[in-house]
Amino acid sequence: MARVALVTGGSRGIGAAISVALKAAGYKVAANYAGNDEAAAAFTKETGIPTFKWSVADYDACVAGIAKVEAEVGPVDVLVNNAGITRDAMFHKMTPQQWKEVIDTNLTGLFNMTHPLWSGMRDRKFGRVINISSINGQKGQAGQANYSAAKSGDLGFTKALAQEGARAGITVNAICPGYIATEMVKAIDEKVLAERIIPQIPVGRLGEPEEIARTVVFLASDDAGFITGSTISANGGQFFV
Ligand code: NDP
């Protein structure tokens, strides 16, 4: 029977590529999103992948949303915590609201999504949790104290949970993308991108969402059963740990 995969922020950008790649690999896929109904409807029309709207920053909404997904698609075997936002500002100008929104979505969102699914994965003795962190969680980035803190927290969460899930057949891993060509990155000033960002990437280009998606498909597979607690850097050689 086909395994079920739930991808948060799965209707746009990297998440959309992950949803599509998992479907192509034979999974029954559900894609969550936050508010862009138009993009979600277009995505479902194009791919046939159902979309479910709730905010990963809201625990009760996650519990209700997951119940709906499990009723309509089936018990979730693979969770991809991909939803993320930026609210960039230099620290002296960063507002408590900018800090909170990013932590709530990019860090607490992982708790909110993984916690309601954990018992089911333990009972069924199989699970894959794949967290999309960031190069900026590994190295830190000026103007992103909130985002870097959240994404770094995602890596600690991954390592701790990997130890708890191991005996229950659940692997927990993280991927740290570098700069990937999505709306989040295209929002960066073109001059900054061309003159300051791309020259820092040894392969000389932005990554493609599909390159992250293929890494997710591998980590979700039975072939990756011995890999847990790992962080895979996918950044064109920009940063090594
Ligand atoms: P996009 O902005 O293109 O897409 C973000 C997705 O997340 C959308 O589907 C959006 O939903 C959803 N989302 C945002 N907030 C919430 C929320 N509270 N609850 C549920 N869904 C939410 O982002 P990317 O594809 O660029 O990024 C995907 C992930 O990869 C993020 O975690 C990001 O931090 C990480 N990343 C991205 C990099 C890049 O270069 N692009 C580099 C490193 C990491 P909606 O459509 O409704 O708005």
Check pLDDT > 80 for residue 240: yes
Q: Whose CA is nearest to atom 36 of ligand 1?
A: 134
Work out the average pLDDT over 44-70: 98
Sheet holding 51-53, edge to edge: 51-53, 28-33, 4-7, 78-81, 127-132, 170-177, 231-234
The ligand 1 atom at the shortest distance from the C-alpha of residue 36 is 47
Centroid of ligand 1 to alpha carbon of 125 (angstroms): 29
Query: What is d(CA 47, CA 196) in angstroms, rounded to the nearest whole number?
Result: 36
Please report the pLDDT score of residue 184 as a whole number.
Answer: 76
Residues assigned a catalytic role: 147
**List of domains in the chain:** 4-232 (3.40.50.720)
Query: What is d(CA 218, CA 2) in angstroms, rounded to the nearest whole number?
Result: 16
Tens-digit pLDDT profile for residues 154-205: 999 999 999 999 999 999 999 999 999 998 788 889 999 999 999 999 999 9
Please report the pLDDT score of residue 152 as a whole number.
Answer: 98
66-to-69, 75, 118, 159 alpha-carbon distances in Å:
5, 9, 12, 24
Tens-digit pLDDT profile for residues 1-52: 899 999 999 999 999 999 999 999 999 999 999 999 999 999 999 999 999 9
**Which among 33, 58, 101, 157 is the best mutation to test ligand 1's pocket, defined by most ligand atoms within 8 Å of the CB?**
33
* Model pTM score: 0.98
- Which amino acids bring their CB within 6 angstroms of ligand 1? 8-9, 11-15, 32-36, 39, 55-57, 82-85, 105, 132, 134, 177, 179-180, 182-185
Tens-digit pLDDT profile for residues 136-151: 999 999 999 999 999 9
Percent of the chain clearing pLDDT 90 (strictly above):
95
Check pLDDT > 90 for residue 241: no
